[in-house]
Amino acid sequence: MRPSDKDDDFTSHRMSAERWSLLTTAIEKLGSARTLDKVIEILRGTARRIAGADGIAIVLPDNGQCHYLTEDAMSPLWAGLRFPQNSCISGMAMQQRETIIIPDVMVDPRVPHAAYEPTFVRSMAMVPIGSPDSVAAVGAYWSVTGDPDPNAIALLEALSRAATTALENARLLASLEDLNNALESRVAARTAELERTQEIARQAQKMEVIGKLTGNVAHDFNNLLTPIMGSLDLLLTRRTATDNVLRSANVAMDAAERAKLLVQRLLAFARRQPLVPKPVDIAQLAFGMKDLLISSLGARIALLLDIAPSLPSARADQHQLELALLNLVVNARDAMPEGGSVTISARSGRGHDQPTTLPLGDYICISVRDDGVGMDEVVLAQAVEPFFTTKGAEHGTGLGLSMVDGLAAQLGGALQIFSTAGTGTEILLWLPVAPQPVAVAGGPSADDENKGTILVIDDEPVVRSGTAEMISALGYDVVQAASAREGLDLIDDGLDPTVVVTDHVMPGMTGAELALRLRVERPRTAVMIISGYQGIDLIAPDVVRLSKPFRQVHLTASIAAARQQVAA
Ligand SMILES: Nc1ncnc2c1ncn2[C@@H]1O[C@H](COP(=O)(O)OP(=O)(O)OP(=O)(O)O)[C@@H](O)[C@H]1O
Ligand SMILES: [Mg+2]
């Protein structure tokens, strides 16, 4: 062997070893490539040296075209340009999924000569990448004609196979990531949903606890207010009282009346206010309140009434419903310091638009809408909570909406609030449709023969003696008992009361139970229950009832009504 042959052999072995080493490094790098960009970067950085070429180009298919994405060449080729897929060699190689070798670009009929003429390229090899479909191609170009070195082609093809695997991995990884992201967002959505449900449950529990607490406090307060108002009433009717005493008693009575209103709102929120649910004609109620509402709104706010014709009656407590509407209208007024309009509308509501908390059925939906300042999300979330107010302690008790909400729930309906800051507020009050037509109420006739004995039963000594004093001021004889049992014993011992006035919630026998028993055993004895509790309507719906606290006039009317019942 000639020394020069030996030299050539040595050089080509060295080159081949270098290219193999380059290929191995590239394959290693491709093994950890996670994206198409990374794969292309590795190809661009190594393909030219591996192929021993004067230039390489990386081509991606793009909408029927071949996009010459990037290149590494001795002088510029076509980087950034696009050619129709079926008229360029890269397109053909990708379509046929096999390497195309062109020893002389200027004589090969497949080559678009015009594109090659200005370049150094005289021979080339185009290797597709991707399996089964080609997703890219790498072209190697030489400035001399002739068949490229088969080793170079083999190395280039090995590089292409490694890139194919890397691309497949990248694709799998991307879909795994997509899956992961989709799973993560589903988990996040579920968690949020769960948290929302838990928050609603927490809120409901909180309201229930506050409700119970408020209800108990309000109930005790009522018990205290009853003798206070009774005693004041007695003082006010005393002829011997001096002007000074009368003035003070009047001031005290005004405060007691305000306290009574506050307690009523608390009881309403706690869903424990005594209600007298009857069929209520909403049109009549709204038009009846019109003047009051207009004067409450003031001159700068217009009131619009839009009541659907022939609306069935709602099952509600007329008086409490009026208070609720007044509360909502006053809230609307406060939300429109610059003026605006309030629309009260009412319609039949059933089916899809009724709140999901309500059992399916027929409802009347009363809406109070304003175009005032509205509520942001924070205020909206707390608006119904008792004592939540944005009006300052001296202007708002924060019990208005709590009362309306409690009333709606107690009547078997619901309250909904829709509000956006800056746009206005709409409050919907859902009430069940009443089963019967509006009843014509007859006024209680006064009984001026206040003679006979009244048995007053209450376990609270202060309340009992207060009530007893008020009754005896009416002219009756009064006998007191601390429990239903004690009252019944007195009757068994020969007491013959004209009227039994009893508290409802007492240890042992309740007032309602006593009333039912007396009705059977002594049908001529009138019974009247004094109570701050709801629910008696259901236990003893036709027993005359007086809500705590009350004034002398209410007491007189109720005793008369109870006596009338047994006289009938
Ligand atoms: N129509 C409304 N527009 C804007 N905000 C309202 C409206 N109604 C109620 N709010 C907000 O909800 C809060 C609570 O209302 P709620 O009626 O319970 O109490 P209040 O009006 O503040 O006090 P009170 O009713 O004792 O006068 C209000 O302070 C106000 O921030
Ligand atoms: Mg209010």
d(C-alpha 227, C-alpha 464), whole Å: 8
The DSSP result for 529-549, as a single string, is EEES-SSHHHHSTTSEEEESS
Higher pLDDT pick, 5 / 419 = 419
Is pLDDT of 441 > 70?
A: no
Q: Which atom of ligand 1 is nearest to the CA of 395?
A: 27
Confidence of residue 539 (pLDDT cuts 50, 70, 90): low
Which residue in this structure is represented by tokens 């996670």?
34
Is pLDDT of 504 > 70?
A: yes
Query: Could you give the C-alpha distances from 562 to 116, 465, 499, in angstroms and in order?
Result: 114, 21, 7
Question: Which stretches of 427-505 are DSSP H helices?
Answer: 461-473, 484-492
Q: Which atom of ligand 1 is nearest to the CA of 424?
A: 3
The β-bridge partners of 530 are 503, 546
Side chain identity at residue 392, one-letter code: G
Who's near 157: CB < 8 A, 6+ residues apart?
99, 127
| Torsion of Cα atoms, 311 then 317 then 322 then 323, to 10° | -150
The predicted model gives 389-413 an average pLDDT of: 90
Higher pLDDT pick, 545 / 285 = 285
Pairing of strands 424-432, 414-420: antiparallel
CB 201, CB 256: distance < 8 Å: no
| Ligand 1 binding pocket includes 52 (Cβ within 6 Å) | no
Least confident stretch, 201-210, 345-354, 391-400, 531-540: 531-540
Mutation choice for ligand 1 from 263, 326, 334, CB with most ligand atoms inside 8 A = 334
Query: Could you give the C-alpha distances from 407 to 200, 300, 302, 359, 482, in angstroms and in order?
Result: 20, 30, 27, 17, 32
Higher pLDDT pick, 518 / 6 = 518
Is pLDDT of 325 > 90?
A: yes
Dihedral sign for Cα 172, 178, 182, 184, please: positive
Is pLDDT of 238 > 60?
A: yes
| Ligand 1 binding pocket includes 400 (Cβ within 6 Å) | yes
Query: Could you give the C-alpha distances from 291 to 318, 322, 342, in angstroms and in order?
Result: 17, 13, 14
Ligand 1 centroid–CA 424 distance in Å is 13
Ligand 1 centroid–CA 384 distance in Å is 8
**Phi, psi at 329, each rounded to 5°:** -70, -40
Q: Which ligand is nearest to the CA of 335?
A: 1
Other beta carbons within 10 Å of 391: 12
pLDDT digits (tens, 9 = 90+) for 251-283: 999 999 989 888 888 888 887 777 778 889 999
Is pLDDT of 6 > 60?
A: no
pLDDT of residue 440: 39
Beta-carbon neighbours within 5 Å of ion ligand 2: 331, 400
CB 506, CB 534: distance < 8 Å: no
Beta sheet of 526-531, edge-to-edge order: 477-481, 453-457, 499-503, 526-531, 544-547
Q: Which atom of ligand 1 is nearest to the CA of 373?
A: 4
pLDDT of residue 447: 44
Q: Which ligand is nearest to the CA of 383?
A: 1
Is pLDDT of 444 > 50?
A: no
The residue whose CA is least distant from atom 17 of ligand 1 is 400
Ligand 1 centroid–CA 500 distance in Å is 43
Question: pTM above the 0.85 mark?
Answer: no
Question: Which stretches of 413-501 are DSSP H helices?
Answer: 461-473, 484-492
| Ligand 1 binding pocket includes 374 (Cβ within 6 Å) | yes
Confidence of residue 200 (pLDDT cuts 50, 70, 90): confident
Pairing of strands 314-316, 278-280: antiparallel
The predicted model gives 428-449 an average pLDDT of: 61
Question: Which stretches of 298-415 are DSSP H helices?
Answer: 318-334, 377-382, 400-410
Dihedral sign for Cα 131, 134, 140, 145, please: positive
Ligand 2 centroid–CA 298 distance in Å is 16
| Ligand 1 binding pocket includes 375 (Cβ within 6 Å) | yes
Mutation choice for ligand 1 from 389, 403, 407, CB with most ligand atoms inside 8 A = 389
Query: What mean pLDDT value characterizes the chain?
Result: 87
Of residues 135, 226, 116, 121, the one with CA closest to residue 462: 226
d(C-alpha 9, C-alpha 6), whole Å: 5
pLDDT of residue 14: 67
| Ligand 1 binding pocket includes 391 (Cβ within 6 Å) | yes
Other beta carbons within 10 Å of 101: 16
pLDDT of residue 564: 86
d(C-alpha 218, C-alpha 548), whole Å: 10
Q: Which two tokens stand for residue 145?
A: 């004609």
Of residues 503, 565, 508, the one with CA closest to residue 536: 503
Q: What percent of the chain has pLDDT over 70?
A: 92
Packing angle, helices 243-269 and 400-410, rounded to 10: 60
pLDDT digits (tens, 9 = 90+) for 115-156: 999 999 999 999 999 888 888 999 999 999 999 999 999 999
Confidence of residue 347 (pLDDT cuts 50, 70, 90): very high
- DSSP-assigned letter for residue 555: H
Query: Could you give the C-alpha distances from 358 to 187, 352, 355, 427, 504, in angstroms and in order?
Result: 30, 11, 6, 16, 30
- DSSP-assigned letter for residue 106: T
| Torsion of Cα atoms, 387 then 388 then 391 then 397, to 10° | -20
Ligand 1 centroid–CA 338 distance in Å is 17
CB 349, CB 308: distance < 8 Å: no
Quote the distance between the C-alpha of residue 64 and its chain's center. 50
pLDDT digits (tens, 9 = 90+) for 275-295: 778 889 999 999 999 999 999
The residue whose CA is least distant from atom 20 of ligand 1 is 398
Query: Could you give the C-alpha distances from 89 to 31, 111, 120, 323, in angstroms and in order?
Result: 28, 7, 16, 86
